[in-house]
Amino acid sequence: MMRKASLIITGIVIGAGCATLGQQARVLVGSPALAAAADTYKNLSLFGDVFDKVRADYVEKPDEQKLVESAINGMLTSLDPHSSYLDAKGFKDMRTQTEGKFGGLGIEVTQEEGLVKVVTPIDDTPASRAGILSGDLIFAIDDENVQGLTLNQAVDKMRGAINTPVRLTILRGKDKDKIEVKLVRAEIHIKSVRSHKQD
């Protein structure tokens, strides 16, 4: 009887050992995925900690929405140069550009030394008809100085409803002669391809 009992007990121990090994095998197989998930949540927790620290201790109160959007944009641009995040306004602006028409003045612009620089007026638009030239610096829009505005903010101020007036203060030439130009916004059609015949 004792021997039989011992065998039964031994069988239970071996069975338990097999069950334990089986569990360990399952954990080992799943461990890379679990570790990756743990790392992801750890990094998200780190982001939350940094975000809270910036929000609490930065010298000026930050724009929290802008912080989050910048973080998302940073994540996407790290993938490739063409990926980015658009908020509702950015998406609307993109639609305006891709649909090819909007109410505006008809100038291609960039930013230089805090001012808006005219790259080129678009043919047959309010800007070209008003005599705006490549290289002109837009100093003010409706008497509001553009210094301190982003390029997008300045462009938004020049765009608007069709047939509404806008006044630009322009600096022209080496002497930065100040010129006031009054324009009326019109529907601007963007030509994706332009051609020029050169003799």
- Three-state SS sequence of 140-192: EECCEECCCCCHHHHHHHHCCCCCCEEEEEEEECCCCEEEEEEEECEEEECCC
Instruction: Report d(CA 146, CA 153) in Å as an integer.
Output: 9
Nearest to 124, CA basis, from 198, 197, 195, 190:
190
Task: Look up residue 36 and give its two tokens.
Answer: 């990756």
pLDDT category, 7, cuts 50, 70, 90? Answer: very low
Residue 145, pLDDT above cutoff 60: yes
Residue 126, pLDDT above cutoff 60: yes
3-state class (DSSP) for residue 120: strand
In order, the DSSP letters of 59-118 are SS---HHHHHHHHHHHHHHTT-TT-----HHHHHHHHHHHHTEEEE--EEEEEETTEEEE
Residue 48, pLDDT above cutoff 70: yes
Tens-place pLDDT, residues 163-194: 999 999 999 998 889 999 999 999 887 665 55
| Mean pLDDT (the chain, rounded) | 78
Contact 117, 111 (CB under 8 A): yes
Q: What is the pLDDT of residue 40?
A: 84
Q: What is the pLDDT of residue 30?
A: 52
Domains of the chain: 102-189 (2.30.42.10)
| Mean pLDDT of the 132-161 span | 92
Contact 187, 125 (CB under 8 A): no
pTM: 0.51
Instruction: Report d(CA 120, CA 148) in Å as an integer.
Output: 23
Instruction: Report d(CA 136, CA 80) in Å as an integer.
Output: 35
Contact 114, 177 (CB under 8 A): no
Instruction: Report d(CA 180, CA 167) in Å as an integer.
Output: 7
Residue 96, Cβ neighbours under 10 Å: how many? 16
